[in-house]
Chain A
Amino acid sequence: MLFSYNWLQDYIKEKLFPAEKLAEILTRHSFEIEDVKKRGKDWLLDIDVLPNRGADCFSHLGIAREIAVITNSKFQVPSSKFQESSKLKARDFIKLEVKNKADCPRYTGKVILGIKVGSAPKWIQERLKACGLQPINNIVDIANYVMLETGEPIHAFDLDKIEKKIIVRRAQKGERIKALDDKSYSLDRDILVIADEKGPIAIAGIKGGEKTGIDSKTKNIVIEAANFNQKVIRQGSRKLKLRTDASLRFENGIDPNLIDSAQERIVSLIQEIAGGKIAKGLIGFYPNKVRPKKINLDLNYSEKLLGIKVPKQKAIKILKSLGFQSYEVEPREIVVEVPTRRLDVSIQEDLIEEIGRIVGFQNIPSAFPQAALISPEKNQELFWQKNIKDILKEIGFSEVYNYSFIGEKEEDIFGWKTAELIELENPMSSFNKYLRPSLIPNLLKNIRENLKFVSEIKIFEIGKIFIKKKSLLEKEMLAGILTRKGIKDEGFYELKGIVDSLLNKLGISNIWYDEYQSTPEESKLTHWHPSKCAEIKSDGEEIGFLGEISPKILEDLRIKEKVFVFDLDFEKLLKLVSEEHEYQPISLFPTAVRDLAVLVPQGTKVVTLLNRINSAGGKLVRDVDLFDVYQGREIPRNKENFAFHIIYQAEDRTLSSKEIDKIHQKIIKALEENPEWEVRK
């Protein structure tokens, strides 16, 4: 909010600090000053008044009061002098009816007759302009001026245009009003209005109506200074999408007692500038007068909370300078009476904040707590996350953090059903309409963008996904993605090896890969290549998937390379991981390697051969290593050749070549039991 330096000076007896310096002091003790700008002979301070201080500081007087306290200067309130006519009585000119005191705790109307509408004096116009308001005419400008000065929004009606009576009530559905901004608003029960006997003449606390506005012919006026329920004004302002200087102030709450000084001030200014006779008294409604609260303040607690000693007399003095009266009740306890303008102060902690900020938070010394030594809990999830990230990084994967959203486009490309997705009520755009149901779409986007600059991409992400089951499910996943220019099926095996290493390092054994037969309704799997996808299982439970991304999706995303992905359920991994690890003794006896080549029909799964070799070979076969897969020349069509290294080793002796031959022959025989398999000798 903008404040004029020269205007603030009016209320301080001593000369103010230079604008920049003043800004610094205010920032330390009251509010942040976002900007200081020179404007002619004046400076404008853009003050970020905290939302809880709107009631007393959305005004030049409020800010000046703060300045007076923190710079130890004298605060001076402008005097209001005016003369009321003893013959004219306000209530003879207009009646008032407030329907609900909860909506409108206080209402006042002052009647002035025979004013002269014209331009406001230059100094008023200048000050309004400095604060961003357009001058209109002397009456309206004075009303705005008093609002900027005191914080009380004020509205002026043309008395002669009001039908008999001012009524404060909720609007009825279907009612409309043409406001002073020349726009027409349709109203309903949620909106509070000022009406006369014919209909609404103002949207209460937000905007005046055109019908009863001040024009050049206006002679007699009613000055409204009222207090409206902040929630009602907030609700109305949101509903009409209309925020004004008045509504902003009402929304944040205003002290109903502020009306007294504001009325006196505006009436005196109008009489001085526009002339006229002021009718005696006012039309008023204030059934429950707000009185100052009293709070007990324990000074020991204040010291304990701030960590700084503030002598009692100093605390009392600070509070007094802010307008809080205190009485001692105990040696270390005082009762504090809170001025009604301080809507933000209701508990003793609020008073402690006042003392603290005026003393200066920067003057609080640093002191390490004296507390019991507790060692922090180990966070298993983060511990394993860290492990996984380190392992993947070692393997050459880089970590990405993506947005937690997907858009309509992804919904379409990946074929999710809307019913499965978590939709936002208020997305920023169609790009973030849903919460991501998988890490894969955004990882694919990373692939597409990075392929423009690099030829190989290995990235991973750990993050939450969101799916709609019976209720909303928020679940941590780990996904990695691999591609490079010209990559073929080997990418699958590369990634499979990476998953093996990763799981192995996490102490998860007993992993196998199962062919995945997707059922048509499992639409979540449509992003996989139908015949190049495996289910990763451990202990009989699916823990994730490994596979190639469906060519159709890649085409839709305009990715030209094959892309391989693993997608693991992090929470399931967490149940399987183990830090336990036992050393396996290294055999002291030599290994012997024999090679074996088998001709098999195309499409034979290696795992079937491996199983046969291992079961025939028994425990002396330490390892079987597939080192070549060949099809082509020299090999019959529809056949392919698998070549293995078989590694033999015993734990307790050196194997003789006779012994090895015997096992090797046994393996060959076992393989050839399958008539389609031919061991090449």
Chain B
Amino acid sequence: MNPKAIKIEAQKEIKRVKNLKNLDKIFKKYLGKKGKIAQVFNSLKKLSEKERKKIGKETNLVKVEIDKMIKKKSKELKEKERKIQIKKERIDITRPGKKIGVGHLHPLTLVQREIFEIFQSMGFSVIQGPEVETEWYNFDALNIPKDHPARDMWDTFWLKNNKLLLRTHTSPVQIRYMEKHNPPLRIIVPGKCFRHEATDASHDIQFYQLEGLMIDKNISAANFKAIIEEFLKRFFKTKVEIQLRPSYFPFTEPSFEIDVRKEKGKWVEMMGAGMVHPNVFKAAGLNPKEWQGFAFGVGLDRLAMVKYKIGDIRLFYQGDLRFLKQF
């Protein structure tokens, strides 16, 4: 058979073919071991050398062309079939995702991490202290003498049979730290504190407080204002206004209460602060004529409540996963 005729025939058949299975048949028919091209090659023996060369060359060309056509067609058909297949495949993307068992950190942990980072960037070290305290560190050293009505400001849990108590604030760590470290110093002290008082949405028998203390030769109330504004701005990630007003704490003089408001919001009482009282320096073994500085105490629960709009402090201590999973 004439190779050209084979090519034309094959071309027609390839053009018509609709699926890969039939294309394969065409391949066998023309290019298979016993296919038409092979037959042509077999028949070459009978021809003269000159003709053999000529037709052989022609046949080879035709073989390559048919192969190309089949490959091209095969690619087309595969693409077509894939399209059909893909059209059939579908999922409901509105179905819920598979639940992955991720854990959650407690909101007070998250808040603490943020606060530590802010204060550490301003050179404050994070220090801790014991939860069970002596009367000396919790009261006397902080200029709160026995039988003084000021003690009524801290309703205290006492331990039986020894004179120990559950610390009512983190301020004892001020004394503990100043006893062992010479100024200049900058610390914050996070920790669990306890108050013997009736519980409601904003009071619980335990809570977390953050104490701050900065002591040097010239630390002023103006410095306190700057540091605390910077902290609040970075913590709430928005512009905040603060208002200092007079207050009374035996361990600071002057003493302030700090109210905070976010843009045009309501003033919220946020923390107590003041300039460290000379008697506190004396109790810690430092000379008040040499050093001065500020101290502040802020409720971590309160900060977390404002930040996350949590309405009840007691939610922090219930271990309720429906609450915890939101953080």
Residues of A within 8 A of B (CB): 27-32, 50-54, 230-231, 234-235, 251-252, 304-308, 347, 349-350, 352-353, 356-357, 361-362, 364-377, 379, 381-382, 386, 389, 392-405, 422-428, 432, 435, 442-443, 445-446, 449-450, 453-454, 456-459, 463-464, 466, 472, 474
CA distance A627 to B68 in the complex (A): 52
* Contact of A426 with B130 in the complex, beta carbons under 8 Å: no
CA distance A453 to B318 in the complex (A): 14
Residues of B within 8 A of A (CB): 101-106, 108-109, 113, 116, 119-120, 123-128, 130-132, 147, 149-150, 152-153, 157-162, 164, 166, 184, 186, 192, 194, 196, 205-206, 214, 216, 218-223, 225-227, 229-230, 243-248, 250, 253-257, 275, 277-278, 292, 316-322, 324-325
CA distance A394 to B125 in the complex (A): 27
CA distance A617 to B296 in the complex (A): 64
Task: Tell me the smallest distance from the CB of B229 to a CB of chain A, in Å.
Answer: 6
Per DSSP, chain B at the interface is: mixed
List 10 tightest A-B contacts by C-beta distance, closest first.
A307-B222, A307-B220, A446-B319, A353-B254, A361-B244, A393-B103, A50-B248, A396-B101, A425-B158, A400-B319
CA distance A402 to B194 in the complex (A): 13
Q: List 30 A-B contacts (CB under 8 A).
A: A32-B245, A50-B248, A51-B153, A305-B292, A307-B220, A347-B278, A356-B254, A357-B245, A361-B221, A361-B244, A362-B244, A365-B225, A366-B229, A367-B225, A369-B216, A370-B218, A374-B186, A376-B124, A392-B103, A394-B102, A396-B101, A399-B106, A399-B109, A423-B161, A425-B158, A428-B205, A442-B319, A449-B318, A450-B321, A472-B159
Task: Tell me the smallest distance from the CB of B79 to a CB of chain A, in Å.
Answer: 38
Among residues of A, the one whose C-beta sits closest to the C-beta of B198 is A428
CA distance A235 to B149 in the complex (A): 10
* Contact of A399 with B104 in the complex, beta carbons under 8 Å: yes
Task: Tell me the smallest distance from the CB of A386 to a CB of chain B, in Å.
Answer: 7
* Contact of B253 with A50 in the complex, beta carbons under 8 Å: no
* Contact of B319 with A52 in the complex, beta carbons under 8 Å: no
* Contact of A304 with B292 in the complex, beta carbons under 8 Å: yes
CA distance A500 to B233 in the complex (A): 42
* Contact of A457 with B321 in the complex, beta carbons under 8 Å: yes
* Contact of B116 with A305 in the complex, beta carbons under 8 Å: no
* Contact of A459 with B319 in the complex, beta carbons under 8 Å: yes
CA distance A379 to B221 in the complex (A): 28
Among residues of A, the one whose C-beta sits closest to the C-beta of B255 is A353
* Contact of A425 with B321 in the complex, beta carbons under 8 Å: no
* Contact of A396 with B226 in the complex, beta carbons under 8 Å: no
* Contact of B184 with A374 in the complex, beta carbons under 8 Å: yes
* Contact of A464 with B196 in the complex, beta carbons under 8 Å: no
* Contact of A425 with B325 in the complex, beta carbons under 8 Å: no
* Contact of A376 with B278 in the complex, beta carbons under 8 Å: no
* Contact of B159 with A423 in the complex, beta carbons under 8 Å: yes
CA distance A364 to B246 in the complex (A): 13
- Chain B residues with CB under 8 A of A353: 246, 253-255
* Contact of B321 with A459 in the complex, beta carbons under 8 Å: yes
The one of B194, B225, B230 that contacts A364, using a Cβ cutoff of 8 Å: B225
The one of A347, A357, A399 that contacts B324, using a Cβ cutoff of 8 Å: A399
Per DSSP, chain A at the interface is: mixed
* Contact of B159 with A424 in the complex, beta carbons under 8 Å: yes
* Contact of A367 with B223 in the complex, beta carbons under 8 Å: yes
CA distance A50 to B318 in the complex (A): 34
The one of B103, B149, B184, B226 that contacts A394, using a Cβ cutoff of 8 Å: B103
- Chain A residues with CB under 8 A of B254: 305-306, 349, 352-353, 356-357, 361
CA distance A474 to B132 in the complex (A): 8
* Contact of B320 with A361 in the complex, beta carbons under 8 Å: no
Task: Tell me the smallest distance from the CB of A616 to a CB of chain B, in Å.
Answer: 39
CA distance A51 to B160 in the complex (A): 29
* Contact of A28 with B245 in the complex, beta carbons under 8 Å: yes
- Chain B residues with CB under 8 A of A31: 246
Among residues of B, the one whose C-beta sits closest to the C-beta of A383 is B126
- Chain B residues with CB under 8 A of A458: 101, 103
* Contact of B223 with A369 in the complex, beta carbons under 8 Å: yes
CA distance A446 to B106 in the complex (A): 14
Task: Tell me the smallest distance from the CB of A30 to a CB of chain B, in Å.
Answer: 6
* Contact of B321 with A398 in the complex, beta carbons under 8 Å: yes
Among residues of B, the one whose C-beta sits closest to the C-beta of A464 is B131
- Chain B residues with CB under 8 A of A403: 205-206, 317
CA distance A369 to B230 in the complex (A): 12
* Contact of A231 with B147 in the complex, beta carbons under 8 Å: yes
Task: Tell me the smallest distance from the CB of A461 to a CB of chain B, in Å.
Answer: 8
* Contact of A398 with B126 in the complex, beta carbons under 8 Å: no
CA distance A305 to B224 in the complex (A): 11
Among residues of B, the one whose C-beta sits closest to the C-beta of A361 is B244
Question: Given A353-B253, A379-B125, A401-B316, do A389 and B105 touch, yes or no (CB 8 Å)?
Answer: yes
Among residues of A, the one whose C-beta sits closest to the C-beta of B250 is A52
Give the one of B106, B119, B227 with max A CB within 10 A. B106
Question: Given A306-B220, A307-B220, do A52 and B103 touch, yes or no (CB 8 Å)?
Answer: no
Question: Given A28-B245, A374-B186, A376-B124, do A389 and B223 touch, yes or no (CB 8 Å)?
Answer: no
* Contact of B123 with A368 in the complex, beta carbons under 8 Å: no
Task: Tell me the smallest distance from the CB of A473 to a CB of chain B, in Å.
Answer: 10
Task: Tell me the smallest distance from the CB of B270 to a CB of chain A, in Å.
Answer: 13
- Chain B residues with CB under 8 A of A463: 192
